[in-house]
Structure 1
Amino acid sequence: MNLFKKFAFTLGLTVVASSTFANQSITVGATETPHGVILESIKPQLAKQGIDLKIKIYPDFEQANVDVATKKIDASYIVYRPYIARFNTLNKTNLVSVVPVHIEPFILYSNKVKSLKEVPYGAMVVIANDVVDTGRALLLLNKLNLITLKSEVNHYDALTDKLPTVQDITSNPKNLEIRQYNAEKLADIIKITDFVILNGNIFLQEKLNKSNVLYMERGLDGKNIWAEYLVTRPNDVNDVAVKKVAQALNSQATKDFINKTFKGEISPAF
């Protein structure tokens, strides 16, 4: 048997053995990056345990969780707990957060303005239009003293706290024009507006210029409120495949991978 045939034969045996051993499949919805990249890194580890991890990439984090709720996929790894709480309330679902994996920054970004001291009067600020990211964006603007919020909604320290809306703005000294768009459209709007507030995954996906970041909120509150979680249905929390994915996502190998691959742009949440 020549070397090529021997290699092909050996490879064939390996594939057969692997497919025989991969006795359970699980499909997890994710964004392309960082979620999808992190999931891809744990596939070999899971394959050795008999778990065939399939990754379904979504541009829309809403649809991913709809698909979990309707059993089209098994789990999602795409959003943080405030969003899941809101999703459950609106859709009368009961999706469950399993384990935290990473924390993304929340970023004030501009192609036009070089510092917070140069924010012009009447500047346009574009934020996401979903309730959770709208609230988080307003909290960021309040923190930077660009607006003032009502005292009862100027903080978010627990999932039971109420997130602010634009109606909760009590002072807007720069007369900022705050516009809301779908989160997936924010990257397209950057060129035509003064400021955009966006999630770290959009920043990474679009490979935006770090020098145009005016402020980065790391989300490292010690409570993992803004951590991105593996999410599934309550009846599947103890499913073997879900548990093994959760263990792999919270392994030292994954922590090392996040630190090495993203170099501080996102942080492990465990």
Structure 2
Amino acid sequence: MNFFKKIVLSLGLSAVAVTAFANQKITIGATETPHGVILDFIKPQLAKQGIDLKVKIYPDFDRPNVDLNAKKLDASYIVFRPYLAQFNREHKANLVPIVPVHIEPLILYSSKVKNLTEVPYGAMVVIPDDAVNAGRALLLLHKANLITLKPEVNHYDSLTDRLPTVRDIMSNPKNLKIKELEAVKLSGIIRITEFIVLNGNFFLEEKLDQAGVLYVERGLDGKKMWAEYLVTRPEEANNPAIQKVAQALNSKATKDFIIKTFKGEISPAF
């Protein structure tokens, strides 16, 4: 093969390699906001590195990780570590957290009253029905002095701690009627129920009035227990493309974007 042909062949192979890299697609499951909004922000940055980021929006927390475990997604960005640990136990999965991105508050919201002191005797409070978010909701009600939990479950400091259930309520001075409901159904009743405990993403998606916020548990415990993570399968944890997504999610530009866009409604976790 003469020199000219070698050069042409070399250039052709290089072009193929660049094209293949430029077309590298990563699909991540997320909720519409804030997860999807943040992922959309990093798309241009990743495109410059040859990564075509696709965001698949889900209405619930479980399905993205079901699809990730079934290899229908490359990663998810939707849950915090306690929820992920529960998911792995229930589904016999081994999904792994890569980097924390943001922390969403848990909010006690009411369309009826404007102050905790106005919570009436016998009021119904709707909380998520999954074990992790229900436990966090009960911890919120405990911190808001609306109920008292047993001492062994009135805190959550590590993944080995047990989250409370309604059976762990020691005292309920206002005789609150606590109703558990599937998280995906919460958004449909926010404006027609007296009191509801909901995740920050539902508050953002529904564009709720701040005046209805009675109590906020911000999850800023210094341990990032409630930080929302980029998650993938173990064999993909060191995938260069996944690592580039992680770096983009933990960049200063992304931190500034979270602070500017969400104005304190969520917090950067890095």
TM > 0.5: yes
Q: Is 1:190 equivalent to 2:206 in the alignment?
A: no
Q: Percent identity?
A: 72
Cα pair distance change 1:19/1:35, threshold 3 Å: farther
Task: State the 1:19 CA deviation.
Answer: 6.0
Alignment of 1:101-140 (within 5 A): 101-140=101-140
Q: Deviations over 1:71-97 (max 9, x none)?
A: 000100001000000000111100000
Q: Which residue of 1 aligns with 2:14?
A: none
TM-score, scaled relative to structure 1: 0.92
Q: Deviations over 1:210-240 (max 9, x none)?
A: 1110111111111100000000000100001
Alpha-carbon offset, residue 21 of structure 1: 5.1
| Other structure's SS at 1:71 match | coil
Q: Distance in 2 between matches of 1:192 and 1:123?
A: 13
Q: Return the offset for 1:188.
A: 1.6
- Aligned to 2:93, what secondary structure does the other structure show? coil
Provide the secondary structure at the position in 2 that maps to 1:122.
coil
Give the TM-score normalised by the residue count of structure 2. 0.92
Aligned residues: 255
Question: Matched residues in 1 for 2:32 and 2:134: separation?
Answer: 23
The residue aligned with 1:76 is 76
In 1, distance between residues paired with 2:110 and 2:219? 20
Amino acid corresponding to residue 170 of structure 2 in structure 1: T
Shift of 1:22: 1.4
Q: Which consecutive unaligned segments of at least 5 residues does structure 1 have? A: 1-17
Provide the rounded CA distance (Å) in 2 between the counterparts of 1:137 and 1:154. Answer: 11
The equivalent residue for 1:149 is: 149
How far 1:193 moved relative to its partner? 2.0
Counterpart code for 1:186: L
What is aligned with 1:232? Answer: 232
Give the aligned residue type for 1:162.
Answer: R
Q: Which runs of 5+ in 2 are unaligned?
A: 1-17
- What is the RMSD computed on CA atoms of the aligned residues? 1.5
Q: Name 1:37's counterpart in structure 2.
A: 37
What does residue 264 of structure 2 align with? 264
Match of 1:11 in 2: none
Q: Secondary structure in 2 aligned to 1:29?
A: strand
Give, in angstroms, the shift of residue 126 of structure 1. Answer: 0.2
Which residue pairs with 1:171 in the alignment? 171
Partner Cα separation in structure 1 for residue 19 and residue 137 of structure 2 = 46
Change (3 A) 1:91 1:113: same
